[in-house]
Structure 1
Amino acid sequence: MTNSGITVFGRPSQTQAAYEVPSEPDALGFPRNYVTLDLETTGFYPNRCAITEIGAVRVRDGHIVDQFQELVNPLRPIPRQITALTGISDAMVADLDPIDDVLPRFISWLADTQADSIAEPIVGHNVSFDLRFLDYNTRHIAGVPFACMDYDTMQISRVLFPAHKHHRLADLIVRFGIAENEEHRALSDAIQTQECLEWMHQYTAEHCDAAAIDWRSVPAKTSTEIIHQQLILR
């Protein structure tokens, strides 16, 4: 996919009359074919900080079938607290490609689907954070917005388990018996996020009335090209 094709990732072109869901969800509204994404960055703000790692896994019918992982040279010093958290140091990325080179490769990987020409929904934990960085950099590199439909495992957890105070990825993987620690590396976090989504999918099937389950589509505050699919329990 060329950079110009980024505009239609996960969405129809402007010549199409209506939005067409690229991968039909199951009877409960959960996606079966999707990409789980995680980024590591130098900080919180896309206009002042940079991506240091992209990790993602492609899922078919609930099972991982492919993965993407690349470290990124942020072209600026990585704060010491970020290195302490992620283990990613200036020396690790000094000779690697910057985001201008890595992002087109990631976009090409996202579009590489045997099912059809429209990419799958994106799943992430607090996924708005990652999508803001992708959108900012896509606009900078290609001059177009990053467009997708997404599901947020943090939002789903908050709806399913309102009695719990914390819904970080580190909380969920322990609560669900997936792992004891979050590694704060993009690929491993993407895999753990996929496991969390599938765990909550199974929980919903076993403990929730299907008639009470619904989803709403909400445009992102920062870009109408990004559509959040949010779980609702009636």
Structure 2
Amino acid sequence: MKPAARIPKNYVSLDIETTGFSARTDRITEIGAVKIRDGKIVDRYSQLVNPLRPIPSRITSLTGISDAMLADKPAIDDVIEEFIEWTESDRLVGHNIRFDLSFLTANANRVIGDATRFSVRPIDTMSIDRQLFPTERHRLVDLIQRYGISDVEEHRALSDATQTYQCLEWQRRYINTGTAMLS
């Protein structure tokens, strides 16, 4: 069986933006996801989240997300359960997904006392790329450029989740054909 046969055709590709790199001390500022059925986008989830603390200037410079944009948005406590329900029971896909899941898990445990939704065999496009191209760099921007998807990574959750979906589908085609099928 080819490895691509193990990549599901129904899944949720997700990405988050945060105030920093620690799930213990930093907070989510944005959740974005695309729901995939038979390899195609059928629904989108996009939610800015008030972290209830100032956003560091380096994060605003990277993402464009400012304190003013989040002032009237819901806190993660009001969003996490809705997001979990939206994902249904689909496999979760992300680029360096352990980072995203560390924040989602910490918040699900704190808010609803249950993070099992985020422990169901996630798929990581970075790990797949490391297997396919071991000598190359593996940031999302590297993949989208190498795969011919885009020249830039926006560092916004919905855009990055969409590009991650495009990367996984590119990887599926590459594994199945043995050649790069540029978009």
TM-score by structure 1 length? 0.73
Task: Map Cα deviations across residues 202-222 of structure 1 (whole Å, 9 max, x no partner).
Answer: 0000118xxxxxxxxxxxxxx
How many residues are aligned here?
A: 176
Look up the equivalent residue of 1:169 and give its one-letter code: L
Supply the distance in 2 between the matched residues of 1:207 and 1:60 (Cα, whole angstroms).
24
Q: Select which of 156, 159, 162 maps to 2:134.
A: 162
Match of 1:144 in 2: 114
Match of 1:18 in 2: none
Supply the distance in 1 between the matched residues of 2:41 and 2:172 (Cα, whole angstroms).
15
CA RMSD, aligned part only?
1.5
Cα offset, 1:143, TM superposition:
1.2
Give aligned-pair identity as a percent.
55
Q: Select which of 122, 131, 134 maps to 2:104.
A: 134
Kindly indicate whether the alpha-carbon contact (under 8 Å) linking 2:3 and 2:175 is maintained by their aligned counterparts in 1: no
Supply the distance in 2 between the matched residues of 1:81 and 1:26 (Cα, whole angstroms).
39
Match of 1:206 in 2: 177
Task: Map Cα deviations across residues 66-109 of structure 1 (whole Å, 9 max, x no partner).
Answer: 01000000000000000000000000001111000011111121
Match of 2:164 in 1: 193
Supply the distance in 2 between the matched residues of 1:37 and 1:154 (Cα, whole angstroms).
13
Match of 1:71 in 2: 48
Q: Select which of 25, 30, 33 maps to 1:53.
A: 30
Supply the distance in 1 between the matched residues of 2:114 and 2:135 (Cα, whole angstroms).
41
Cα offset, 1:28, TM superposition:
2.2
- Comparing both structures, which one devotes a greater share of its residues to helix? 2
Cα offset, 1:30, TM superposition:
1.1
- Larger radius of gyration, structure 1 or 2? 1
Cα offset, 1:27, TM superposition:
6.6
Q: Name which structure has the greater RCO, CA cutoff 8 Å, separation 6+.
A: 2
Kindly indicate whether the alpha-carbon contact (under 8 Å) linking 2:97 and 2:123 is maintained by their aligned counterparts in 1: yes
Secondary structure in 2 aligned to 1:159? helix
Look up the equivalent residue of 1:56 and give its one-letter code: A
Supply the distance in 2 between the matched residues of 1:28 and 1:195 (Cα, whole angstroms).
17
Match of 1:171 in 2: 142
Look up the equivalent residue of 1:97 and give its one-letter code: P
CA distance change for structure 1 residues 109 and 133 in 2, over 3 Å: closer, same or farther? same
CA distance change for structure 1 residues 78 and 105 in 2, over 3 Å: closer, same or farther? same
Look up the equivalent residue of 1:32 and give its one-letter code: K
Task: Map Cα deviations across residues 157-185 of structure 1 (whole Å, 9 max, x no partner).
Answer: 00011121x10000000001100000000
Structure 1: runs of 5 or more not aligned = 1-24, 112-118, 209-234
Look up the equivalent residue of 2:69 and give its one-letter code: M
The alignment status of 1:100 with 2:77, answered yes or no, reads yes
Kindly indicate whether the alpha-carbon contact (under 8 Å) linking 1:37 and 1:55 is maintained by their aligned counterparts in 2: yes
Secondary structure in 2 aligned to 1:200? helix
Match of 1:6 in 2: none
Cα offset, 1:26, TM superposition:
8.5
TM-score by structure 2 length? 0.93
Match of 2:59 in 1: 82
Kindly indicate whether the alpha-carbon contact (under 8 Å) linking 1:173 and 1:196 is maintained by their aligned counterparts in 2: yes
Task: Map Cα deviations across residues 28-65 of structure 1 (whole Å, 9 max, x no partner).
Answer: 21111000000000001111000000000000111000
Which sits farther off after the overlay, 196-205 or 102-111? Answer: 102-111
Task: Map Cα deviations across residues 187-213 of structure 1 (whole Å, 9 max, x no partner).
Answer: 0000000000000110000118xxxxx
Match of 1:125 in 2: 95
Moved over 3 A (4+): none
Supply the distance in 2 between the matched residues of 1:101 and 1:74 (Cα, whole angstroms).
12
